[in-house]
């Protein structure tokens, strides 16, 4: 059964066409990837799906878990199980990371977990934070003064706390050291076994190979021009996007 269904999507931002006749279906528990050169529309797609107001659909349909995404506000999309790990996460001075994660846990947890005492919730958050060597970041403000790698580790930590139905990871592997990349790979595989589907946006192939992405989608000039399995990475390694750019 499809979890995310995008049909004939067209997106324009400030009169500039970004996506044109874009189609994509992600089934429950599936791991897909979206690759393409800078400016091809990958991050714009993530922003549109999460409901950023600057990104307005001009044509097409967006359905997530049977619901029309266009009828849902960003917070409602999050509660429905949609999560985006941003390429450039926002910085919020004055918003403590641990307090933020506690609120996320309460928002996305089951009814029985929402009744947990605060000390038990904190224990769960600290347990997940240890996976990404992020315990010291819990006392910081959200992404304020953090390095790129620290920001990406916090994005992964949010995903571990939320356990979404669909996670869109926008270059989460950028800026991570090998140990952190390994921790993110293990989290993806773990959540995927529990039923989480993934759309991984990346310029690097290591993560896609480690999590065994089932489908690689090449995005050029706003449309998917090719799809295939991991074997498509070999073509991209040899030729890049030259073959499709000629068309």
Q: Where residue 239 sits, what CATH number does that domain have?
A: 3.40.50.300
pLDDT at 244 over 80: no
pLDDT the model gives residue 236: 83
* CA atoms of 186 and 190, how far apart (whole Å): 6
What would the two tokens of residue 207 be?
A: 């993560």
Q: How far apart are CA 140 and CA 134, in angstroms?
A: 10
When pLDDT is cut at 50, 70 and 90, the band that residue 233 belongs to is: confident
Q: How many domains does the chain have?
A: 1
- 155 pLDDT above the threshold of 80: yes
pTM: 0.93
Taking residues 24-36, report their average pLDDT: 95
Q: In what order do the strands lie in the sheet with 82-85?
A: 82-85, 166-170, 197-201, 31-35, 215-220, 223-228
- The three-class DSSP label of residue 97 is helix
11, 12, 104 from 41: Cα distances, Å = 9, 10, 28
Domain that holds residue 187: 2-245
| Residue 13: per-residue pLDDT | 83
pLDDT exceeds cutoff 60 at 64: yes
> Does position 93 have pLDDT exceeding 90, yes or no?
yes
∠ CA 67-68-72, nearest 5°, is 95
């Amino acid at each position: 059964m499809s979890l995310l269904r995008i049909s004939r999507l067209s997106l324009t931002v400030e009169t500039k066409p970004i996506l044109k006749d874009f189609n994509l279906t992600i089934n429950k528990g599936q791991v897909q990837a979206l690759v393409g050169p800078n400016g091809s529309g990958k991050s714009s797609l993530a922003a549109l799906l999460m409901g950023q107001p600057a990104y307005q659909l001009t044509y097409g349909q967006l359905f997530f878990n049977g619901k029309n995404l266009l009828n849902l506000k960003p917070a409602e999309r999050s509660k429905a199980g949609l999560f985006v790990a941003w390429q450039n996460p926002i910085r919020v001075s004055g918003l403590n990371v641990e307090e933020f994660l506690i609120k996320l846990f309460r928002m996305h947890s089951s009814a029985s977990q929402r009744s947990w005492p605060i000390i038990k919730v904190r224990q769960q958050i600290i347990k997940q934070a240890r996976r990404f060597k992020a315990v010291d970041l819990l006392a910081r403000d959200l992404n304020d003064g953090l390095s790129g790698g620290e920001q990406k580790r916090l994005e992964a930590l949010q995903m571990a706390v939320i356990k979404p139905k669909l996670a869109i990871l926008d270059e989460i592997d950028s800026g991570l050291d090998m140990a952190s990349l390994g921790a993110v790979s293990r989290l993806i595989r773990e959540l995927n076994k529990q039923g989480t589907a993934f759309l991984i946006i990346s310029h690097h192939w290591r993560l896609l190979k480690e999590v065994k992405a089932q489908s690689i989608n090449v995005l050029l000039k706003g449309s998917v021009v090719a799809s295939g399995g991991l074997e498509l990475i070999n073509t991209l390694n040899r030729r890049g996007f030259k073959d499709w750019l000629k068309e």
